[in-house]
Structure 1
Amino acid sequence: MEGKRLDVALSGIIPGVSRSVVQKMIQQGVVLRNGTTARSKETVHEGDIITWGEYTPPAPSADPEQIPIDLVYEDDAIIVVNKPRGMATHPAPGTHGGTLVNALLGRGKTLSLQDDELRPGIVHRLDKDTTGLLVVAKTNAAHASLAEQIAERSLRRTYIALVWGVPRWRHARVDAPIGRHPTQRDHMAVLAPDNVRGKVAVTDFDVLETFGSITLIRAQLHTGRTHQIRVHASYAGHPVIGDEVYGGIRPAQVKRLAPDAQKAILALSGQALHAVRLAFAHPATGASVAFEAPPPREFLGILKSLDCSMDVDELLTAVRCEAPPALENE
């Protein structure tokens, strides 16, 4: 340890603790060097006595933060947001800020208050690296109405995704229970029907266009399990491109693409999955409402590199169709 920085030295001594956690321990004052609180950059010398106590991670909190956010619609009952990639929906252990909730509170928005103070207004979620539309409740009555619509499967959530491979089907319904992966606890998985840990999960997939080894699909949720579309797409043999967790990173297949497509896919900073449309009964008026958000620039860049036959308006029209569009070879 002689001559090393304190944080580097300790991360090599304390089992299962990373350097970043050691730095947080030092900041919290639970690490002492020769009886006094220490700093990460201090150098360790022979004869030093280093002691440490238990590190207590800070509790997550929903505090206002000044973060730019794309508000698609707002009235006295609801807010519809187009969430960017890289933003978690709400604070949680390990995610203490920079979330959609923090951003909305930073704009002075009043949100519904239900059971969880870390999730004011949140009725449904998007994964951190999934982009697109979320509806947020401003009142408890709106929250209850939207939650009921989700439970009754009348709130329609439609996504588009780019997946690997060409499905043998034009339309498919995946009805397969989802639960925690038995060995990888931060992953989800399709479980056997008789596994009590699995929850009902149903996703409809429709092919919109194919591009050799890549397919543009529409996905419609009937339930809302964690990572549902990503898990079901992978289970169906067509993982979402860019999905590091469920098999969407395929360097060998990327290398076989045209240079422009290779560049566009390698520039993707997450999975190619976008919540493109929301449709529901307005919780205050009962009127049917629908909102749409075009996919982000990097998603459109991949479509352009693949010579997609649809422009943005045509893509949104295809998404709205009750029946999937006819394919060129039909």
Structure 2
Amino acid sequence: MPVPEGLEGMRVDAAVSRLFGISRSAAAELIADGDVLIDHSAAMKSDRLSSGVMLEVTLPAPEEPLLPKAEVVEGLDVIYSDSDLIAVHKPVGVAAHPTVGWEGPTVLGGLAAAGFRISTSGPPERKGIVQRLDVGTSGVMVVAASERGYSVLKRAFKERTVEKTYHALVQGLPDPLSGTIDAPIGRHPSAGWKFAVTADGKEAITHYKVVEAFREASLVEIQLETGRTHQIRVHMSATGHPCCGDPMYGSDPNLGKRLGLIRQWLHAVKLGFHHPANGEWVEIEAPYPDDLHHALEVIRG
């Protein structure tokens, strides 16, 4: 293209940055790689443009979007499905959707392999996703199958009208036996891959009640009002009662080993929401998987 009059006298790196909406450093890389020419000659980033000269820029190909890889996912059970939604029992070790750096199985990939139609709404790598469970957490998860399902369920999760119920086996006995933990959660100040209760974190509210108490641990029912990353694990740890099998957040590794746990004892047991089609209240439950069931039997003696 001929250099526009408005860019006359501007450094080449600044002009390329402005013209194509890329960062100054990205423009400098293009220039260093010989991908920016002025009148058919390679430019230097400090060169200044003259009006009317020809500027030729070769931009890199856009990054390929992360797309779910259709593959059979062992242990991924479809609990319920209709034209608006699909509810699955997500096993541990499975991500909700593709992310950078994750090469394991995904819920979306498993559903694609099973022939389910997913809503086309949402970013390419997570179409139909209205909620997520951590890779290390099992339980019931719902995916939108239609555009109506996506918009209604997405809004329901945002407005907190969905009832999210979890069971967790935590160390010790919480006191009081039922209560609410209202403490903001943010990135851990010294370990970016962890989360913690922080003064400048996002609002996080957890309701809990003890269902069954044992000598070393308690089975707790939890309802989430918010949905922060690692919320239950962080909140229970902050009260001195980390999830069994969760050394990242302070559990006793010896107890976890004795219970046969290689992940935190945490399971999404139930989701309750208004159906996108008719507004009727729906509750979908997922039973404990074998590893969590075994740990309960051991702790019960």
Q: TM-score, normalised by structure 1?
A: 0.69
**Which residue of the other structure, out of 58, 62, 68, is the alignment partner of 1:62?**
68
How much does 1:262 deviate?
Answer: 5.8
Q: How far apart in 2 are the matches of 1:282 and 1:88?
A: 25
228, 231, 234: which one pairs with 1:228? 231
Is 2:288 the counterpart of 1:304?
no
| Corresponding residue for residue 285 of structure 2 | 292
2-structure distance, mates of 1:126, 1:274: 10
Give the structure 1 partner of residue 109 of structure 2: 102
Is this contact kept in 1: 2:94–2:104, CA < 8 A? Answer: no
State the Cα distance separating 1:301 from its structure 2 match. Answer: 1.2
Q: Displacement of 1:168 after TM fit?
A: 1.6
TM-superposed CA distance for 1:81, in Å, is 0.3
Matched with 1:317 is none
In 2: Cα distance, 1:101 partner to 1:140 partner: 16
Deviations for 1:12-49, whole angstroms, at most 9, x for unmatched residues? Answer: xxxxxxxxxxxxxxxxxxxxxxxxxxxxxxxxxxxxxx
Alignment of 1:1-330 (within 5 A): 60-68=66-74, 69-192=76-199, 195=200, 198-251=201-254, 254=255, 263=258, 265=259, 267-307=260-300
CA-to-aligned-CA distance 1:23-82 (integer Å, 9 cap, x gap): xxxxxxxxxxxxxxxxxxxxxxxxxxxxxxxxxx99743121122320000000000000
d(CA) in 1 for partners of 2:238, 2:123: 32
Which residue of structure 1 lines up, in the alignment, with residue 28 of structure 2?
none
Deviation of 1:304 (Å): 1.5
- Asked whether the equivalents of residues 66 and 124 of structure 2 are also in contact (C-alpha less than 8 Å), the reply is no
Change (3 A) 1:271 1:187: same
Query: Which residue identity is paired with 1:209?
Result: E
User: 1-side partners of 2:295 and 2:154: how far apart?
Assistant: 35
TM superposition score normalised by structure 2: 0.75
Q: Which has the larger radius of gyration?
A: 2
AA matched with 2:271:
L
| Partner Cα distance (2:115, 2:287) in 1 | 27
Give me the CA root mean square deviation: 1.8
The CA distance in 2 between the partners of 1:58 and 1:302, in whole Å, is 43
